[in-house]
Amino acid sequence: MLIGRSEEKHQLQKAYDSKESEFVAVYGRRRIGKTYLIKQTFKDKFCFQYTGIHGISNKEQLDEFFRSLLSQGLPSESTPPKTWFEAFHLLETLISKSRQKRKIIFIDELPWMDAPNSKFIQAFEHFWNGWAYFRDDILLIICGSATSWIINKIFRNTGGLYNRVTYRIKLHQFSLQECEEYVKAHRLNFNRNMILEGYMVMGGIPYYWSKLDAAKSMGQNINNLFLRESGELHDEFNYIYSSMFNKPEKYLKVIEALAGKKSGLTREGIIKAGELESNGQISQIIEDLIECGFVRKYCNTNKKIRDAIYQLVDCYSLFYYQFVRNAHNADEDYWVRLMKTPTYHTWCGLSFERVCLLHTKQIKTALGISGIMANIFSWHVKKTEDHPGVQIDLLIDRADNMVNVCEMKYAPKGFNITSSEIENMNTKLRVLEMYLPKYKTVQPVLITSNGAIRNQHFFEFPFQITADQLFLPYKSPSL
């Protein structure tokens, strides 16, 4: 059963219905459901499909490609290819013999077919530019785990594949609403508090949610899947980055540097914290991580682009650095014991903030401003003689000259607004106003997991949002 993905499926169908040949690239981070989306959309309509194999020689890859061609209709008397140019000519032969009106060619794990010195990319370019492009019945779909390869070899290609992709379909992780839909569809007995807990650990990665055991609580699933050494997803972290990036070492240094900084780092800050060399490669690594959804980039309205802040927003990576990396001899009760520690409560606050940052569209909808353009970012300023330094983790700078200052609090039993909380918020508002143009007005917003406790300070926050509103489906504002 395909959950969500309505827009992506619409794009695939549009490419299928086209009267011209189309080149589609479906991309996104590991475990996001790229292959599943394509196969669920087209079922048995494929003219040819092949999945590249990781870690084999170029000759072995050519042999497997040839066997797939034979099994899907290539004449048995065909000569095995010695090069990728010959292999794609054989694919042309197979396609030409097909009686299907629309010929769907699906090549999964395409990056794994590009062995060193194989001239694969040149042969692939020639197949599209010299043959498929001039027909009107080809739908070529590619995807792969090595997302950075897709980005750099296909999207950023300066040769024969420059600007050749006609549909770029980026798969994002599920929202809370889609995770809830998934839970209901698979008869998992989890309420919204449990779903939120799961999202704080796994994000909205469909593959992780598919591993949940309905007979166990969310906490038990987290413990058994991620924290126990025998857990199916215990070694997931290294597998993700090694499969997505050809040389993951520097990517991991960037991720680790950002994992230790709640509000993020500048490019120079990443280089210093990760002990990396300052060159163009670092910029590309950061851009790759943004494109894959691990990192977000934001720039304060009064800052230059070079002062942009990069922030780790991948929930699972944060969970890994906080708990999985340090989990040793974890038993059935390991996660339960962790839940009683200060480290756990600190992580809850940080992870809930990340969940909110991933649902800013829903926050805007809850505030009734979905149709208003806004710059959304974190903001901080160091202490001066005129004011104490402050940190604002979510600020919505709106085109209507209102600025929402959001406080995000994870409190399963309800958040207790104290006088110190009010004082802290008022300080943030006062300092922020010193840096804003006079025509802008600040407005505090409280976002909590389970609402605020009604006490004498409850109405100090006139705008309050709960996690229930983060579960609402996002709808684009009417034009």
Q: Of 289, 288, 266, nearest to 278 (Cα)? A: 266
What does the pLDDT read at residue 105?
A: 98
Residue 339's contacts (CB-CB under 8 Å, 6 or more residues apart) are 219
474/34 Cα distance (integer angstroms): 22
Residue 53 has pLDDT above 80, yes or no: yes
DSSP letter for each residue of 76-88: TTPPPPSSHHHHH
Per-residue pLDDT at 383: 87
pLDDT range class, residue 475, cuts 50, 70, 90: low
Distance CA 219, CA 209 (A): 13
The answer to whether 363 and 406 have CB atoms below 8 angstroms apart is: yes
* Between residues 277 and 199, the one the model is more confident about: 199
pTM of this prediction exceeds 0.85 = yes
DSSP letters for 2-26: --S-HHHHHHHHHHHH-SS-EEEEE
**Pairing mode of beta strands 167-170, 46-51:** unpaired
Q: What is the DSSP letter of 386?
A: S
Contact 17, 41 (CB under 8 A): no
Q: How confident is the model at residue 474 (pLDDT cuts 50, 70, 90)?
A: low
Predicted local distance difference test score (pLDDT) of residue 142: 97
How many other β-carbons are positioned within 10 Å of the β-carbon of residue 342?
7
pLDDT the model gives residue 235:
92
What is the b/e burial string over 49-59, where b = at least 16 CB atoms within 10 angstroms of the residue's CB? Answer: bbbbeeeeebe
**Tokens of residue 314, six digits:** 């991948």
Over residues 142-152, the pLDDT tens digits come to: 999 888 899 88
Mapping DSSP to helix (H, G, I), strand (E, B) and coil, where does residue 224 land? helix
**Cβ–Cβ < 8 Å for 363, 447:** yes
Which H or E run includes 309?
Answer: strand 309-312
pLDDT value of position 264: 86
C-alpha separations of 302 from 123, 366, 375 in Å = 48, 27, 12
pLDDT at 260 over 60: yes
Structure tokens at 330: 């974890």
Residue 407 CB contacts under 8 Å (≥ 6 apart), including other chains: 421, 425, 444, 445, 446, 447, 461
Q: Which residue has the tokens 């720039």?
A: 299
* Residue that the structure tokens 């409280």 belong to: 446
In angstroms, what CA-CA distances link 397 with 286, 301, 429? 25, 8, 13
Helix (H) or strand (E) holding 289: helix 280-291
Percent of the chain exceeding pLDDT 70 equals 97
Residue-level pLDDT at 294: 92
- pLDDT of the residue at 328: 83
- Segment 213-233 shows an average pLDDT of 95
Torsion, CA 227, CA 228, CA 232, CA 236, rounded to 10:
40
Q: Which amino acid is at 257?
A: A
Question: pLDDT per residue over 355-410, tens digit each?
Answer: 999 999 999 999 999 999 998 888 888 889 889 888 898 999 999 999 999 999 99
Encoded tokens for 245? 């990036």
Name the average pLDDT for the chain.
92
Pairing of β 374-381 and β 390-398: antiparallel
CA-CA distances (angstroms) from residue 30 to 2, 6, 55, 239?
18, 20, 17, 9
Note every long-range contact of 291-299, with CB atoms under 8 Å and residues 24 or more positions apart, other chains counting: 291/147, 291/151, 291/170, 292/28, 292/29, 292/147, 292/148, 292/244, 293/28, 293/29, 293/172, 293/173, 294/29, 294/255, 295/254, 295/255, 295/258, 296/357, 298/264, 298/376, 298/377, 298/378, 299/377
CA distance 131 to 126: 7
* Strand partners of residue 402: 441
Query: If you search the block for the tokens 């060193």, which residue do you land on?
Result: 116
Residue 420 pLDDT class (50, 70, 90 cuts):
very high
Q: How sure is the predictor about 479, in pLDDT bands with cuts at 50, 70 and 90?
A: very low
Q: What is the mean pLDDT of residues 318-328?
A: 92
Neighbours of 468 (CB within 10 A): 14
Q: Please give the pLDDT value at position 8.
A: 96
Tokens 């929930």, residue located = 315
